[in-house]
Structure 1
Amino acid sequence: MIKKILKYLSLILVLCNIPGFLLVYYSPTIGSATSIATSLLLILFFIISKPRQKPIFSLIIFSLLFFMLSGLHYYDNSVFFFKEFARFMIMIICMNEVMARSNYSDIFFVMLLVGLSIIVNGLVFPETNRLYGLVNGRYSGFMLNPNNAGVACMLGMALSYSIRSNFWKFLGQIIFTFAGILTLSRTFLVVWFLLVLISIVKNKKNLIVPILGATAFIIFINFSDSKNFAADRFEAFTSFFEEGEVKTKTISHDTRDQTWALYYDLIFEKPFLGHGFMSFQNKTNDLPGVHNSYLMVIGESGIIPFLIFIGIYIHLFFRTLTHFKTEPYLMYVLLVVLLNLMVSHTYFFNYQSAALTIFIFSTLRKIENKINHLSIPLKT
């Protein structure tokens, strides 16, 4: 019982970004204390978990190389650097034990908390984003960033298809659809349609999902106060469902590829050792932050960690593809992670993508161990 409580606490703290949320909305002291408590909780779970899982060496090697090489050109606060390095390594090693004892429904219900936090943020406390210096007019709840919140809604939507209870499945799909709309994320909208299309192809019973989605859109358009939303994005979203011209210019404005292009020359300047820790993450007067984890890795630490990073996800893609017929949800989770890595640079601070990567490794290990066990002939 104690282990189960610790497991869910760990999942909520890490996947719901609770330390970051408390840091912004309450105080740096509370946020820092919660961050330390999260690390201690993960260490405690690691200590009491037996038998222990095989470490994910590829992630450990990648993480060590990234911090070692990016640290060579980091000249700011060394205490901050070593603290973040220690926190991330604790998460990579100890979260392996948590995820090995977690399943799809565990992640789904944790994501429900994120979805509900987005809805509360958008409908009950819409002014908090402006007051606390967050993105105004787009809502994110615990995740703080609307793009990360949109990814969390995509993940919950993908995992909803693994839930056997129709009540929780449909309730989750309504919550994630409505919460995803409140983020005004263009990526969420596209991925939502793709997930629904794939689900209908796999099972005609999923035709109910577009009805649920249409209901959520109608509620959003008719009952939401447009003054609380970013005006250009709100008009672009609602233009899909109204007569007249679709606001394609707004939808395509300020796309991520334009942001990435600002960093290409910097990458070619120092392709082997990179520009140093945080150099592609911090906003400056000239640059907005790279908003791409792949470019962040090569830009801050060079090509060797980058190749390992890419190799990890190519390896996971082919392994999940092998089991797609029997375990499609794992591919859905991986695709959401890959997408998140393309639009964010918070891999080493918001642990959602790294933790879900560990979940994919752990679930693959369980699936393959089960297959190997079944394939062993019984002795007579």
Structure 2
Amino acid sequence: MKTADQPGNKAEAGREAADRFDQIENVAAKMAIVEHAVNVHGGSLKRRHLNLMMVSPGYRARRSGAGRYELHKQPCVVLTVERKWKPDEVTDLSRHLPERLEVSISVGNRVVQYMVPTDVQPQEWTGNLRTQSSNGITVETSPPCSGAITCGVELGTSAGPMWLALSALHVLTPAPCLDAIPKGSIGIELSGAGAAVGQSTPYAGCLRWDAPSFDAQLATISPARLNSMFADLRLDFFQIAHSRADINFLASVSQFYVHTSTNRLNGPIPDQGDICGQFCFFADDSLKLVYTVTDDQGTKIPAYITHPDLIVIAAGDGKPVTQEGDSGSPVFASYNNQTFLVGMLIAGPQTGNSGDRMVVLPSWVLFNPANWSSLPPKTKSIRPTFHMP
């Protein structure tokens, strides 16, 4: 008779745990288990497998018969590697990445075992991402930088509310100095019109050389100007995504869409001006984005910058993707006739690259005052708006 710890019983228990996970119908519930598997196994997997770049909660991707990859709404642990090995390339089984990861979840007074699937994806799908500095604006630098306004914000301060505009730091301060808060006072114009919009302020995050960064900055703007920028949205009411759990739910019921403007640098997007994308995975500081920055000698150089919490979405092969000048664009999802602000676009495919991945700085990061390196004194809250009073 086999005991519980014999190989036959272990294999059977593993199959049951895999079936238990696969039979869960709620995608958001599956993603919660996947995130737990990443937290449990991510560190040890990276230590054992030197070619493993990222361990992320996300969706499965598969090659179609035509050779194109397609995303499927199947939660899994995404294992991003420098390159995918062919089946016969590695004979040492210890170097093979696991097809499933075992996790234990407490449910009431019992512990339930799951075997969570993994999906190995090549780094090339995310290795050519860079910042994409209308709402379209042109920042008055030499050479000028183009980007987009994300939204207006109401700052709750001890002196009363302040109304400003939000965009990416790398848009409002092109080639920012590393490890320094921007000085502000750079003029901003409406792209293609030459009309003054406002000025950048020193209220910003910071791009850091060897620590996670925060790519956001505020600018002055007139309420009338901001309201005209977003008149096409007709947002009488909207909500924001408050957590990864909100994204897990929204990803199961909605696409994400990057709202671009009619005066964008590369021309308007047909129809409603939105670039659609499907959730791929959450990324942490393992994902390195290419920025143009200024070093302590005053020289502009490319640098790899990381962020602690990002959302990666994909347009799909042959579909429109964001381009230079789209950084700062707001990203939305929808559910039950409600609109959710998901975050701000900060990066996409490098010009000339065939990739379709786009990177979003999440709303719960953007609107948390604790993440900002500089804000007006005693700022207690940051609330997004698309209509200023």
Report the TM-score, using the length of structure 2 for normalisation. 0.25
Which structure has the larger Rg over C-alpha atoms? 2
Report the TM-score, using the length of structure 1 for normalisation. 0.26
More strand by share: 2
